[in-house]
Amino acid sequence: MKKNIIKAEQEVLQATRPPFSKIVTNLPPTVPFVPPEEMERRTGQSIHLRLGANESNYGMSPKARQAMEQAVSESYLYGDATTYHLRRKLADIHDVDPDQIILGSGLDDLLGLIVRTFLDPGDSVTTSLGGYPTFNFHVQGYGGILHTVPYQDFRNDLEGLAQKARETNSRILYLANPDNPTGSWWEADAISKLRDSLPDGCLLLMDEAYVDFAPADTVWPIDPTDSQVIRARTFSKSHGMAGTRIGYAFADKETIQAFDKVRNHFGVNRIAQAGALASLQDTDFQRDIIHAVSVGKEEYATLATELGITTLPSFTNFVAFDMGTPERATAAMDTLWNRGVFTRVPGAPPLNRLLRVSVGRPEERQEFAQIFGDIVPTLPK
Amino acid sequence: MKKNIIKAEQEVLQATRPPFSKIVTNLPPTVPFVPPEEMERRTGQSIHLRLGANESNYGMSPKARQAMEQAVSESYLYGDATTYHLRRKLADIHDVDPDQIILGSGLDDLLGLIVRTFLDPGDSVTTSLGGYPTFNFHVQGYGGILHTVPYQDFRNDLEGLAQKARETNSRILYLANPDNPTGSWWEADAISKLRDSLPDGCLLLMDEAYVDFAPADTVWPIDPTDSQVIRARTFSKSHGMAGTRIGYAFADKETIQAFDKVRNHFGVNRIAQAGALASLQDTDFQRDIIHAVSVGKEEYATLATELGITTLPSFTNFVAFDMGTPERATAAMDTLWNRGVFTRVPGAPPLNRLLRVSVGRPEERQEFAQIFGDIVPTLPK
């Protein structure tokens, strides 16, 4: 009897619950990444080498740090919703108009905004199978349909992507270049050819989070008058400001105006704006970081060779170790975790045999080399 | 002939431009607020008294500031996407479960997320006529239809709102309490009655940005098991952290899980998380600020009386001066601007006769009193 009353009450509550949107209702529970802090809490394992999120363990420019420390005391004031000074500085550096630039609270935020601005529910999007999970998360979160093209030799298959976009009438073709999680890179000529083969009305969304680590003279020139291309970038990687949440993109003016119709205008925090502006001015620091990271990548490659493991060439701040099989890659990641080292293995084949390791500082790399050297002989064949 | 070629080329370009989503295409260009920095650039007027955005010119807790300054050097690392420590602290303070709390990069971000999670395009939303523009911006940005209810005696018309929500089959009823831009407040009994009169399946979205300034013993108790109510709050006002971009909301667990399906998981920056946690621990500072603001509000009321102007009672950190007519209110705002003082006048009648002035620090109030005293006699009758 009591049970029935409780059940009846529950039904009343059920009836009044506001329904979620159709898209949200139909989505499975999912998160793009479980953060390492949460994994530490779940496993009871404390991490002392954080090499799994491609953060820059070198930190940020001292000038950026100082600018941010100073900005803290002013951050009782809202930041400038127009990000005026940053857009001017970026425009100056890249020889574009400030009206062709948008800032967001991280590149993830901009990916969501771009998807939202261009996609109607049911629209198709093309990306690589095993590409950036957060982009996929946004596409599904706005009701888009993902079409994927397998990597070829651990590189994005540009011809395959263009063909898939054509076949599926995709609204967006997403390309991470340099690529995450492989570290691979297509030079200007190849991208130019991809752009020329784009179906009419399909947007080429280039995620260039790691572009600062690629050879500068091979980067496809920016042309923000081309309404079919968006170049999205971030201060999280070479600028070492992942936790401050600030990213930017180049797009044509009309697209920027469309973003303005829906974006979270006061979303870019004041401290990040100050830090990003200062970081852009410290080109010496940037150059040093990019050099230091290239040294670290060489060290990782040498280490791998010594251990009989192949690495992929990388134009990013991480290296993908090809462990040969998914089982071996996962075992490596798990064993490293149990030794306090955070790395990642992508989920989709054939990338799931790659162990992705961020380039740490020299002392971190030394520690990693020692632990990795210990565990590799213990891994399943 | 040449003209035709140009025209033909333009048509080719036109044909390849990726179309924007239906919602974005149909939206007029609009921004919820032009920031004061942009208004300074447009008018060439430099502002020395910033009293128009309801920031806390007292700044933040010294403990929060210190925590943020320390967090700067760690912010090369992504912040915790689960905001674990903050949720636990907020849960502790408010006697709820951490799973009933969501953090966002500002309350604006959460308003967007809530609208997105509950609204399908074409769905109705009820709010007060002249209510928070950023909420309206998000509703329109997700394709919702706004229905408005005029203020009554400069207060939200609770019965009118519930009736309108019923008539329009609204999915969301938005209520700012304490209210912006009037500063008015409904106590627990009135809100409880509103909640009981909600149509089935309609969400009561309470924007409580200013709740810390309301009499604590009259605040409607939080019950996050009620799936029809969300209470959204912020660190921008009493905590003085507007520029750091961090807000939170209480909702039932299933709603929090729905948010997780689509939210920008790594969106809350690391520095803001550290500052918010420290600020919550500095309850003495909070108490002092709330007291200081109440002193400031009394000063504004006295000033107004001396100038023959009425003010509205305020349970926020600002005071609305009733200038009698929209013309007089706008003239006051414009004249103040020309004297370097930033204030705001709402756009919608009858609120457009209110001059909204944030409570500044004592020396700022003194300066405001002097300038305002100068200009009031010069205003049109």
- Residues of chain B with Cβ-Cβ distance to A19 below 8 Å are 118, 171, 201
Nearest to B55 among A77, A108, A118 (CB): A77
pLDDT the model gives residue B16: 85
Disruptive mutation site among B9, B12, B22, B24 for chain A (greatest number of A CBs within 10 Å): B24
* CA distances for A284 relative to A62, A273, A287, B374, angstroms: 11, 20, 5, 52
Burial B144-165 (b: 16+ CB within 10 A, else e): bbbbbbebeebbbbbebbbebb
Phi, psi of A234 (to 5 degrees): -150, 160
**Residue B167: strand, helix, or coil:** helix
Class of domain B36-54+284-376: alpha beta
* pLDDT confidence tier of residue A2, bands split at 50, 70 and 90: very low
- Please report the pLDDT score of residue A14 as a whole number: 45
Q: What is the mean pLDDT of residues B45-61?
A: 98
Domain locations in chain A as residue ranges: 36-57+284-378, 62-281
Among B34, B266, B279, B361, most A C-beta atoms within 10 A, so best to mutate, is B266
pLDDT the model gives residue B348:
94
Q: What is the pLDDT of residue B148?
A: 98
Residue A378 contacts residue A335 (beta carbons within 8 Å): yes
Determine, for residues A22 and B120 on separate chains, whether the beta-carbon distance falls below 8 Å.
Answer: yes
Residue A4 has pLDDT above 90, yes or no: no
A11 pLDDT higher than 80: no
Nearest-10 crossing angle of helices B270-281, B62-72: 150
3-state secondary structure of A348: coil
What does the DSSP assignment read for A7-69? Answer: HHHHHHHHHHSPPPPHHHHHSPS--S---HHHHHHHHTPPPSEE-SS---TT---HHHHHHHH
Question: What is the reported pLDDT for A286?
Answer: 96
- pLDDT tens-digit series, residues A131-140: 999 999 999 9
Q: Do B272 and A269 touch (CB under 8 A)?
A: yes
pLDDT digits (tens, 9 = 90+) for A46-70: 999 999 999 999 999 999 999 999 9
Considering CB atoms only, which of B108, B141, B201 is closest to A19?
B201
> Taking the CA atoms of chain B, what radius of gyration do you get in angstroms?
22
Q: Could you confirm whether domain A62-281 is CATH 1.10.10.410?
A: no
Distance separating alpha carbons of residues B61 and A364, to the nearest angstrom: 36
Which residue among B31, B109, B271 places its CB closest to the CB of A260?
Answer: B31
Average pLDDT for A118-143: 98
> Residues 21..50 of A with a Cβ closer than 8 Å to B: which?
21-24, 27-35, 37-38, 41, 50
pLDDT at A309: 97
Closest CA to B96 of B260, B248, B202, B201: B248
Task: Tell me the pLDDT tens digit for each residue of B321-343.
Answer: 999 999 999 999 999 999 999 99
Give me the mean pLDDT over the A326-332 stretch.
98
DSSP H or E stretch at residue B358: strand B354-358
Sign (positive or negative) of CA dihedral B295, B277, A263, B117: negative
Whether B243 and A112 lie within 8 Å, measured CB to CB? no
User: Is A36-57+284-378 assigned to CATH 3.40.50.1110?
Assistant: no
What tokens does A276 get? 């990003």
Statement: residue B367 has pLDDT above 60: yes
Tens of pLDDT, residue by residue over B93-108, are 999 999 999 999 999 9
Is the model's pLDDT at A9 over the cut of 80? no
**Total CB pairs under 8 A between chain A and B:** 273
Quote the pLDDT of residue A30.
Answer: 87
Contact, B329 vs B25, CB < 8 A?
no
Q: How many CB atoms are closer than 10 A to CB A332? A: 25
Chain A (247-306) residues lying within 8 Å, Cβ to Cβ, of chain B: 254, 257-258, 260-262, 264-272, 275
Distance (Å, rounded) from C-alpha B188 to C-alpha B168?
26
**Which residues in chain A touch residue B268, judged by CB atoms under 8 angstroms apart?**
245
Query: Confidence band (pLDDT; 50, 70, 90) for B48?
Result: very high
What pLDDT, on a 0 to 100 scale, did the predictor assign at position A381?
82
For chain A, how far is it from start to end, CA to CA, in angstroms?
Answer: 61
Is some CB atom of chain B closer than 8 A to the CB atom of A69? yes
Paired tokens of B219: 């605040």
Distance CA B191, CA B188 (A): 5
Residue of B51, B114, B170, B244 for testing the chain A interface, max A β-carbons within 10 Å: B244
Structure tokens of A332? 């490596």
What does the pLDDT read at residue B30?
A: 87
Q: How far is CA B106 from CA A339, B113, B161, B229, in A?
A: 37, 11, 26, 19
Contacts of A50 (CB under 8 A, 6+ apart): A36, A57, A342, A358, B77
Q: Kindly tell me the burial class for residue A177, based on how many C-beta atoms sit within 10 Å of its own C-beta (0-12, 13-18, 19 or more).
A: buried
Exposure string of A341-374, with b = 16+ CB inside 10 Å and e = fewer, is bbbbbbeeebbbbbbbbbbbeeebbebbbebbee
CATH topology of domain B62-282: Aspartate Aminotransferase; domain 2 (3.40.640)
Three-state SS sequence of A95-114: CCCHHHEEEECCHHHHHHHH
Question: Count H helices, E strands: chain B?
Answer: 14, 12
Q: How far is CA A292 from the centre of its chain?
A: 21
Nearest CA in chain B to A34: B81
Angle value at C-alpha B329, between B327 and B332, nearest 5 degrees: 105
Q: Do the chains contact at B261 and A27, CB–CB below 8 Å?
A: yes
What pairing do the DSSP bridges indicate for beta strands A247-250 and A101-104?
A: antiparallel
Chain A partners within 8 Å of B108 (Cβ): 264-267
**What is the nearest CA distance from A268 to chain B, expressed in angstroms?**
8
Q: What per-residue confidence (pLDDT) applies to A7? A: 44
Percentage above 90 pLDDT, chain B: 95
Common-topology check for domains B36-54+284-376 and B62-282: no
Q: What average pLDDT score do residues A361-379 get?
A: 98
Please state, for a pLDDT cut of 70, what percent of chain A lies above it: 96
The pLDDT of residue A179 is: 98
CA B75 to chain centre: 27
Range 87-126 of B in CB contact (< 8 A) with A: 105-106, 108-109, 112, 116-120
Average pLDDT, chain B: 95
A258 → chain B, closest CA residue:
B24
The answer to whether the CB atoms of A84 and B37 lie below 8 A apart is yes
What's the average model confidence in pLDDT over B68-92? 98
Side-chain half-sphere exposure of A120, counting CA atoms within 13 A: 12
Query: To the nearest whole percent, how much of chain B has pLDDT over 70?
Result: 96
Which chain A positions have a beta carbon within 8 Å of B34's beta carbon?
A: 81
3-state DSSP assignment of residue A4: helix
Tens digit of each residue's pLDDT (9 = 90 or more) over B9-46 = 444 444 489 999 999 999 999 888 999 999 999 999 99
How many angstroms separate the most distant Cα atoms in chain B?
78
What local confidence, expressed as pLDDT, does residue A262 receive?
Answer: 98
pLDDT of residue B262: 98
Instruction: Give the other-Cβ count within 10 Å of B201's Cβ.
Output: 16
- Give the containing element (helix H, strand E) for A231: strand A229-234
Query: Is A270–B31 a contact, with Cβ atoms under 8 angstroms apart?
Result: no
* Average pLDDT along chain A: 95
Half-sphere CA count of A191, side-chain side, radius 13 A: 25
Distance between CA atoms of A136 and A141, rounded to whole angstroms? 8
Helix (H, G, I), strand (E, B) or coil at B89: helix
Mutate: best of B30, B72, B135, partner A, most A CBs <10 A:
B72
Q: What confidence tens digit (pLDDT) does each residue in A271-320 have? A: 999 999 999 999 999 999 999 999 999 999 999 999 999 999 999 999 99
Distance from CA of B93 to the nearest CA of A (A): 22
Q: What is the pLDDT of residues B210-254, one digit of tens each?
A: 999 999 999 999 999 999 999 999 999 999 999 999 999 999 999
